[in-house]
Amino acid sequence: MLIIMILVGALSGWLCLPLCKKLIDSRTDTPIQKWYITGKYAPILWCALGAVSFVLVELQGISIPQKVEFIIVTLTCLLIGSVDIAVKKIPNILLLTLMITKALFLAINFSKESLIQSFWGFVAASVIFILPSLLKIKVGAGDIKLAAVIGLYLGINGFLQAMLIMAITISVYGIFLTIRKLGNFKSLTAMGPYLALGFIITLLFPII
């Protein structure tokens, strides 16, 4: 089964590459030259990402419906991060995909407790990300919407874990920029990839 997941995951990753290109091209008039999109080894990278994603999901030992859900979320987050890095925009269609996926699997495995957790996660995440904008701190609308969707998906505790992961990875990036003298902790960077990474890790390895 693991071999099948690797092969299907690699194929899924390979198919995500042209989709990522399309999402990027539709949001900018300037040709985007990113190594992970147009580079020589881009197809191999996406195949590897897909294969690793499917293997991690398979290793969770969860039901088939949950595997399908986790795979959809993981691939969607990979697309969100990739597009946001390239054009600093998060496609609404990808956010809608996550919301529909959550609604569908909530309906399949309905429980009042899960519904309540999703509601309060959505509210908490929305408030946390909207407050800075009210204080004149620039936060992208796409980041606010993505945070709200993550809260909807993970609940309050899961959202806090995703936020912690986001903070750690952004700090590591800031250290990297400082060491390489390419910038500092105040350098602007797309937040979507870090949020998406926190989402994936929390979904697969919840600790809170």
Q: pLDDT (tens digit, 9 = 90+) per residue, 56-110?
A: 999 998 999 999 999 999 999 999 999 999 999 999 999 999 999 999 998 888 7
Measured CA to CA, the distance from residue 99 to residue 132 in angstroms comes to: 24
pLDDT reported for residue 185: 56
Q: Tell me if 202 sits within 8 A of 149, measured CB to CB.
A: no
- pLDDT single digits (tens) 178-204: 787 666 656 667 788 999 999 999 999
Query: For 40, what's the count of Cα atoms within 13 Å in the CB-facing half-sphere?
Result: 0
In this prediction, residue 97 carries a pLDDT of 96
Amino acid 181: pLDDT:
66
List the one residue out of 155, 73, 160, 67 whose CA is nearest residue 115. 155
* Residue 172, pLDDT score: 86
The pLDDT assigned to 31 comes to 82
Q: What is the mean pLDDT of the segment spanning 119-132?
A: 88
Position 195 scores a pLDDT of 94
Integer Cα distance of 101 and 193 in angstroms: 20
Nearest Cα residue to 129 out of 159, 170, 88: 159
Structural contact between residues 147 and 128, judged by C-beta atoms closer than 8 angstroms = yes
| DSSP 8-state symbol, 101 | H
Percent of the chain with pLDDT over 70: 92
Question: What are the boundaries of each domain within the chain?
Answer: 2-204
Position 176 pLDDT exceeds 80 = no
Average pLDDT, the chain: 90
Least confident of 23-27, 50-54, 137-141: 137-141
Give the lowest-confidence range in 40-44, 142-146, 174-178. Answer: 174-178
Structure confidence at residue 53 (pLDDT): 96
Rg (C-alpha) for the chain, rounded Å, is 17
What confidence score (pLDDT) does residue 187 get?
60
Q: Whole-angstrom Cα distance, residue 105 to residue 37?
A: 31
Lowest-pLDDT range of 17-21, 44-48, 107-111:
107-111
How much is the pLDDT for 182?
67
